[in-house]
Amino acid sequence: DTGVSQDPRHKITKRGQNVTFRCDPISEHNRLYWYRQTLGQGPEFLTYFQNEAQLEKSRLLSDRFSAERPKGSFSTLEIQRTEQGDSAMYLCASSSLNSGRYNEQFFGPGTRLTVL
Amino acid sequence: GQNIDQPTEMTATEGAIVQINCTYQTSGFNGLFWYQQHAGEAPTFLSYNVLDGLEEKGRFSSFLSRSKGYSYLLLKELQMKDSASYLCAVRDSNYQLIWGAGTKLIIKP
């Protein structure tokens, strides 16, 4: 396992459609994070899992957003009834108490969503 | 509220030295991270400070003053490949990362 992977890398959809993204963390990491990033901004926290438990959700995460991590391994992020304002890069990161030297988060390559 | 400030953009010359500043106000402090992000790519970890002082790592150094809520990233012997955004992030009392908007560094020959 060489790192965090995300699928798809790019997604173009029409407004009103539903989309689902997948993240596979580094296998021994028990923490998984979803962020949203728009051009010229830092990552905005969306939600966080420790194992299969979703421990925190940002106020940014409207009712149209849902995330799961059913077996404490991969995670999915679903956006229902997409809006043009949802266009962004969606980043996944993972970590654990023993990850790296400083428990730093390791990021996947991101999924770029474009809503037309 | 929680806030992290860093300059939006900086320009430097190849071979020179540049210092990127970051000031923060957060609920609790459990370390400060610097990440590098090339355009269209994911952030990659550069450095970490939790105690006051300077951490050196090759051409990159990072400094922290907790009493001033201040950090800087120092890049020496700049190379064209250093053109990227540099993100400052603080781990707060909930062990979550609070991110700055990033500083876009442009290197000119």
Residue pLDDT tens, chain A, 116 long = 579 999 999 999 999 999 999 999 998 899 999 999 999 899 999 999 999 988 888 877 788 999 999 988 999 999 999 999 999 999 999 998 776 677 889 999 999 999 99
pLDDT in tens, B84-107: 999 999 998 888 899 999 999 999
| CB contact B101 to A (< 8 Å) | yes
Instruction: Collect all residues with Cβ–Cβ distance below 8 Å to A93 and sequence separation of at least 6.
Output: A4, A32, A33, A35, A105, A106, A107, A108
Among B49, B99, B105, the strongest candidate for a mutation testing the A interface, having the largest count of A CBs within 10 A, is B99
pLDDT of residue A102: 79
**Nearest-CA neighbor of A69 among A23, A1, A4, A18?**
A23
pLDDT of residue A72: 85
| CB contact B93 to A (< 8 Å) | no
CB A46 within 8 A of CB A67: yes
| CB contact A56 to B (< 8 Å) | yes
pLDDT of residue B66: 96
Which chain B residues are Cβ-neighbours of A44 within 8 angstroms? 99
Q: pLDDT tier at B1 (50, 70, 90 boundaries)?
A: confident
pLDDT in tens, B36-91: 999 989 999 999 999 999 999 899 999 999 999 999 999 999 999 999 999 999 99
Which chain A residues are Cβ-neighbours of B104 within 8 angstroms? 40
Backbone φ and ψ of A39, nearest 5°:
-55, 130
Q: What DSSP state is assigned to residue B106?
A: E
Question: Among all chains, which residue has been given the structure tokens 């926290």?
Answer: A45
Which chain B residues are Cβ-neighbours of A91 within 8 angstroms? 42-43
**In the sheet where B60-65 sits, what is the strand order?**
B3-5, B18-25, B70-75, B60-65, B53-57
Average pLDDT over residues B20-45: 94
Please spell the DSSP secondary structure of A48-59, one letter per residue: EEETTEEEEE-T
pLDDT of residue B64: 98
Please count the residue pairs, one from chain A and one from chain B, whose beta carbons lie less than 8 angstroms apart. Answer: 47
Residue of A nearest to B39 (CA): A39
Report the alpha-carbon distance of residue B43 to residue B72 in Å, rounded.
18
